[in-house]
Amino acid sequence: MATEDDPILTTRDAAALLGVSVKTAQTWIEQGQIESWKTPGGHRRVRASAVNGLRDRLGNRRHASTIIDSAVALVVASDARLPTYVEAAAAAGLRAIGQSDPLNAMLDAGIAMPAVIAVELMAGDWERQSMCRRLLHSRDLAHTRMLLVTDMPAARVKADLGTMSRVKLLQSPADKPAFATALVSCLALTSSDGDDALSYPVAANEAARLRAVERTGLVDSMNDPEFDEVVQLTAEMLRVPISLMTLLTPDRQWFKARWGLNAHETPRPWAFCNFTIMQNDVFVVENAAVDPLFNANPLVVNEPRIRFYAGAPLRDAGGNALGALCGIDRQPRVIDATQRRRLVNLAALASDRIALLKGTRLNRWVKGA
């Protein structure tokens, strides 16, 4: 049975705590590097102490003062509890911003673009409840998860806020270990109704990543023959009917270039590329129909009925992942090492072209053209 000092974590929680991809965490668990067990439903579970033990052995303990790209956590709580929660967030490796006033908290959220917002929300606190509702329905904060430390039942919170897909509840009062663990788990939060097709991982530097996407000036821009050529080459190289160059905004997966598909965008929660941008290498799904991460995804169940996916991240000069270059097939398949390498090379070419366009635009502005 879980204790407050050693809670039970999912594989995604473990991945977030270790700062690695879910796939890497799964591999380590299967190899026995993290002691685990299976639930009656067949899902792996681990103890926080086991995950922290591996993190210590890897020499990978994170400190907020030294990790520039750690996730930003906005903590909104009473003056009495705020120092405790901010300290817990910092101990978890997050860059914590503390605020007790709801209006100032909303201003901070708009500036910092936090990956997670933790709110002490008690029954009858209508001001903070209104703040939570506005933050959850903000398009600019569509990537943000929310942790509510509350004395209210889940049904009451859902009725008040109207959505729970990005919300995690923690019973009040919460001690430091429970608060820190819940914050970290929010970074890999799944949909509250268990629909994995509507869940996706969020990068620790998501706020910086979104700003980098905006700086490209490419979202909703006109077609560009140079990028159209890249997706065509990708489709031919992978021998697939569909290829896309995607950019991931707070709420959309927008296609800067596409081959074999008429759609211009999808909702971001549907995007396979959410997982690609968490990798440095190629992300491959050989058969989405039997993959538990994707088998209920609308793009798998309905048109274009994705079965195979292979993607490589697109990055700017600062290393921020902007989106992905990917190939898609309606049939299950595999790719070899040569195709993986060429996909990485084509993604690097597309990234260079993005940087070139951005540089050209900046030069025009400087010259006043």
Handedness of CA 151, 155, 156, 159 (dihedral sign): positive
d(CA 277, CA 249): 12
Rounded alpha-carbon distances, angstroms, from residue 216 to 37, 256, 304, 358: 45, 11, 28, 6
Q: Tens of pLDDT along 93-146?
A: 788 899 999 999 998 888 888 888 999 999 888 999 999 988 887 766 766 889
Taking the CA atoms of the chain, what radius of gyration do you get in angstroms? 21
> Cα torsion at 59, 70, 12, 128 (round to 10°)?
140
Task: Sort strands 167-171 and 145-150 into parallel, antiparallel or unpaired.
Answer: parallel
Per-residue pLDDT, 163: 66
User: Which parts of the chain sit beneath pLDDT 70?
Assistant: 1-5, 16, 18-24, 27-28, 30-33, 54-70, 139-140, 142-143, 163, 187-199, 361-369
Per-residue pLDDT, 217: 85
d(CA 146, CA 61): 24
First to last CA, the chain: 67
Per-residue pLDDT, 3: 55
Place of tokens 């899902």: 43
Q: Is residue 223 within 8 Å of 231, Cβ to Cβ?
A: no
Helix, strand, coil percentages (3-state) for the chain, rounded to 5, are 40, 20, 40
**Statement: the pTM of the whole predicted model exceeds 0.75:** no
Per-residue pLDDT, 369: 46
Domains and CATH numbers, the chain: 1-61 (1.10.1660.10), 64-189 (3.40.50.2300), 206-367 (3.30.450.40)
d(CA 301, CA 97): 41
Token digits for 224? 């560009």
d(CA 250, CA 96): 21
Place of tokens 């065509």: 232
SS3 46: strand
Residue 66 backbone phi and psi in degrees, to 5: -120, -15
